Amino acid sequence: MTEAKSQNTRLVDVFLLGPFMIWFACASRPGRVARAAMVTAGALTVLYNLQNWLHVAYPTVDAASDSVYALLAPVVFLLAYSFS
């Protein structure tokens, strides 16, 4: 995959897929765990892909670390669960 295509895919994830996942979780009113999981996936999709897009566009920005996002996922899930 070329760098430009990869960057375009990241932008789709940041501006369409992630926000849609969050909206769908809130609008469709699934169970509390499913809603929190969908919000978590949407939020982490946005953050992870935005950070990688910024890394390519501005090399001084660090690339997204999988281990950091793995540690961040339970925190985001618990926040989403507590607010749902």
Question: Quick check: helix, strand or coil at residue 58?
Answer: coil
Q: pTM for the complete prediction?
A: 0.83
Domain ranges in the chain?
A: 3-83
In which residue are the tokens 């935005």 written?
50
In this structure, what are the phi and psi dihedrals at residue 59, rounded to the nearest 5 degrees? -60, -15
pLDDT higher than 60, residue 1 = no
Render pLDDT for 18-74 as a digit per residue (tens, 0 to 9): 999 999 888 877 889 999 999 999 999 999 999 999 999 999 999 999 999 999 999
